[in-house]
Amino acid sequence: MPRKCRVGAAVMERRARNEIARPALAAALCLLLLAAAPVAWARAPRRGDTLELSLREEVHRVPVSAAGASIVATSFRPDGKGPFPWIVLSHGTATTLQANRAIGRYRNTSLAHEWVLRGYAVLVPVRRGYGASGGEKLGDDYGICGRPDYRRAGEGAALDLLATVEWAKEQRDLDAKRWLLVGQSSGGFASIYTASKRPEGLVAVLAFSPGRGGDADKRPGEPCAPDRMAELFASIAPQVAVPVLWFYAENDQLIGPRVQKLWFESFRSAGGRGELVVAPPFPERRGHGLFPAPAGIPIWTAAVGTFLRSQGLTLSF
């Protein structure tokens, strides 16, 4: 065969080998990316799911190793390099499974803005079974109203919150020694319960309308088995080493004034530190929605500032 033909044949052979190798290389790279995905990731928004660039919003997947699962978390950050103080913001629970499935990412940008404006990063995990995190059942399910297992609910929620905390401590721009647990409704209960695990670096808990088992239509003001919850709060109080702000609206139809006082006094009399603040009646969600509502911002921010100062905490607010 002439040399020119032999060279041409060799080139064609190499090209053929490369065409075979490229798909194999691409497949290998995909496998590597998939293997790394459970640790943490940030993604571009899906269609109709834009990110708030002014708040440096990102979406992550956080492993919950103890449960053999992972959850979706959204982060918001101030400008700059940090290290920033930060909060883990925990969402509430609706009264139906369908509504809990429908929350997507829990993404209240007005709340995030208030914290970012004050120099805090905000991490918002979606617990197992809810919205974007998915799963066959709620990770913090307490069972039935007649015999609620609130401790089981607390343990399930704590797995997700502690996994988020451990993920956050790996981020270089977050201060591992200055962070808070902040939650609304079942997220407030989850925050108090998680504090009983004494995670390092936690400085305070801000619990807005904390509790479980409320239903404004079926049991106005009286959640399921409130005495069982009171006993649980009393049992974990000695393990909670940081101050807790308990914040309710006077007209909360899920957790009424009698139960508000019962739960706080059970916690306080058993050695828990903190303050109970009861705001005047608020219209959103029959009093239960003060914290998430934009109109509630001046009310809860004033209470938080007063609480942090009264506890001698050096956090700015």
Query: CB–CB of 209/288 below 8 Å?
Result: yes
Backbone angles phi, psi at 183, to 5 degrees: -155, 155
**Gap between the Cα atoms of 126 and 70, Å rounded:** 10
Q: Are 140 and 227 in a shared domain?
A: yes
Give the largest Cα separation in the chain, rounded.
99
**pLDDT at residue 1 is higher than 70:** no
Cα 267 from Cα 245, distance rounded (Å): 12
> Whole-number mean pLDDT of the chain?
88
At 35-53, the pLDDT tens digits run 333 333 344 344 446 899 9
What is the tens place of the pLDDT at every residue in 157-182? 999 999 999 999 999 999 999 999 99
d(CA 263, CA 271): 13
Which residue range(s) make up the domain with 251? 40-310
Angle of helix 226-236 relative to helix 186-195, nearest 10 degrees?
30
User: Coil, helix or strand for 151?
Assistant: helix
169 shares its domain with 285? yes
Are 119 and 212 part of one and the same domain?
Answer: yes
Q: Are residues 210 and 186 in the same domain?
A: yes
- Assess whether 98 and 4 both reside in one domain: no
What percent of the chain stands above pLDDT 90? 81
**Per-residue pLDDT tens for 242-280?**
999 999 999 999 999 999 999 999 999 999 999 999 999
In a domain, 315, yes or no: no
Note the residue count of the chain.
317
When pLDDT is cut at 50, 70 and 90, the band that residue 95 belongs to is: confident
Q: Which of 91-100, 295-304, 308-317 has the highest mean pLDDT?
A: 295-304
